[in-house]
Amino acid sequence: MTKNSILKSMLVPLALATVGNPCYSREKMNVLFISVDDMNNDLACFGNQLVKSPNLNRLASRGVAFSNSYCQYPLSSPSRSSMLTGLRPDVTKVFDLQYHFRQGLPDVVTLPQMFMKNGYYVARVGKAYHYGNPGDIGTNGLDDKVSWLERINPAGLDKTSLESDVINYTPTRKGLGSAMAYYADKKGTDVEHTDGKVADETIKLLKENKDKPFFIFAGFYKPHCPWIAPGKYFDYYNIDQMKLPPINPEIKNYYPELALASTKPWPILGLNTQQAKECKLAYYSAISFVDAQIGRLLEAVTSLGLSDNTIIVFWSDNGYQLGEHGLWFKQSLFEESAKVPLIISVPGTKSGGKVCRQPVEMLDIYPTLAELTGLTPPSNLQGYSLSSLLINPTAKWNHPAYTQVQRGSVPGHSVRTEKWRYTEWNYGENGVELYDEINDKQELQNLAADQKYLLTVKEMKELLHKNHPNPVAGGQAVANTRETYCN
């Protein structure tokens, strides 16, 4: 099937199809890109029935939910820079929250720039590139000015007046952006909070630009900590519903030391069980709050008559640990941190409501949107279009997903296929991990040293080193090659 025939089958009616072919491209498809901060896959559309997320469930019912989608680096700036440039962190050189990708790549064409160069109205509301959260709320943060025609930076009660009221179980940690802290606001309304204002401003932009092609990025700040939200969302949950994974003190003997080094002090930053349960409830409350704001955007798309010509993408920059392996927050190479929710809704597709379980990367979003809108992306993108999976979520897919982190100067690299996760710390010098993701979804059994899996370790090691070769051995990464991996 050719690219044109694939896209014709996806976009209905034909008058709305845009595949870069002028003979039948009558109208450009819009893009509403919805981003959240630090949301894991604890959503009903991905199998967690406890979390109240009716609007994301509604979006998933008319789009494809990718249940095994992975960020390239589970930290805000590296992940966002990678997704928005279509390049891996090894290329952008963004491994922390200070370095800007333009320092080394001044001429790179970002995802929103591609749309801007093709005549789209391009704007963002809230967080797209990195912002210290909550410190930079209301500012441009570590933004990329040339990516946008318009930038809007709302700030609500959670930032302007409620931070001093939080219950903070980790007061010695630097800043609220990495604190176990929450507050149920019994007085403020949704629209008085920052994410309520993000929804308001995004709806205004949709109304003002509904008659022209647009790429609008709605960047929500929750459920990133501190978990401040209107109190009604806390009432959705009961503390007795909050279950924490059991932690065996011997767990440290089962994993490489660096695998558990993202949370200090370990486990769960020194919190007791009751405190950790309160924080988990607050995190879920923040998810429900931002879900309600996303619902307002979906209603606006419908009421403004944009449903038939607007692609909607929902994405989080990284996953989030909630006590698994004794860890909290992100920056681990376990599933809960590396995996992110991704939903793509394309008007007219027949695959709405289906789940794709193939491993995909956030790098794939850029080429996907380019193909769906008929635009020509830069030739150096390192991801692959997901259009075939949007048509048939069970289609053959031969691309693994890579995630990496840094522990000081020591790198950690991980590769995920349909069946396996394989991880190396310092190219294996500081530990190796192998997990059977079919039979051990909690990654409790490290099989790397098991003699029965020597061939699997060898195959996965070769796969990992094709993308992250050991520089000491003089290896070079091979970019944009179609891999067939072991299942």
Q: 3-class DSSP state for residue 73? A: coil
Residues 228 and 293 in one domain: yes
Q: 3-class DSSP state for residue 410? A: strand
Distance between CA 83 and CA 422 in Å, rounded? 22
How many CB atoms neighbour CB 296 within 10 A?
17
Measured distance between the N- and C-terminal CA atoms of the chain, rounded to whole angstroms: 26
| CATH for 315 | 3.40.720.10
Distance between CA 361 and CA 416 in Å, rounded? 10
pLDDT at 27: 75
Residues 342 and 413 in one domain: no
Q: What does pTM read for this prediction?
A: 0.93
Residues 209 and 152 in one domain: yes
pLDDT at 20: 36
Residues 72 and 104 in one domain: yes
**483 occurs within a structural domain:** no
Among the candidates 348, 380, 399, a domain finishes at: 399
Residues 336 and 406 in one domain: no
Which residue segment(s) compose the domain that 421 sits in? 402-473
Q: How many CA atoms lie within 13 A of 377 on its CB side?
A: 25
Q: How far is CA 380 from the centre of its chain?
A: 22
**Do residues 125 and 198 touch, judged by C-beta distance below 8 A?**
yes
What is the DSSP code (8-state) at residue 415? E
pLDDT at 286: 98
Q: 3-class DSSP state for residue 351? A: coil
Distance between CA 143 and CA 163 in Å, rounded? 24
pLDDT at 156: 98
Residues 165 and 50 in one domain: yes
Among the candidates 338, 365, 399, a domain finishes at: 399
pLDDT tens series, the chain, 487 aa: 444 444 545 544 322 333 333 222 337 999 999 999 999 999 999 999 999 999 999 999 999 999 999 999 999 999 999 999 999 999 999 999 999 999 999 999 999 999 999 999 999 999 999 999 999 999 999 999 999 999 999 999 999 999 999 999 999 999 999 999 999 999 999 999 999 999 999 999 999 999 999 999 999 999 999 999 999 999 999 999 999 999 888 888 899 999 999 999 999 999 999 999 999 999 999 999 999 999 999 999 999 999 999 999 999 999 999 999 999 999 999 999 999 999 999 998 888 899 999 999 999 999 999 999 999 999 999 999 999 999 999 999 999 999 999 999 999 999 999 999 999 999 999 999 999 999 999 999 999 999 999 999 999 999 999 999 998 766 555 444 333 333 3
DSSP 191-253: GGSHHHHHHHHHHHHHHHTTTS-EEEEEE--TTSSSEEEEHHHHTT--GGG-------GGGGG
Closest CA to 27 of 37, 17, 35: 17
Residues 313 and 450 in one domain: no
Residues in Cβ contact with 91 at an 8 Å cutoff, skipping those fewer than 6 apart:
85, 105, 382
**481 occurs within a structural domain:** no
State the angle between helix axes of 273-303 and 194-208 in degrees (0 to 180), rounded to the nearest 10.
20
Domain total in the chain: 2
**229 occurs within a structural domain:** yes
**42 occurs within a structural domain:** yes
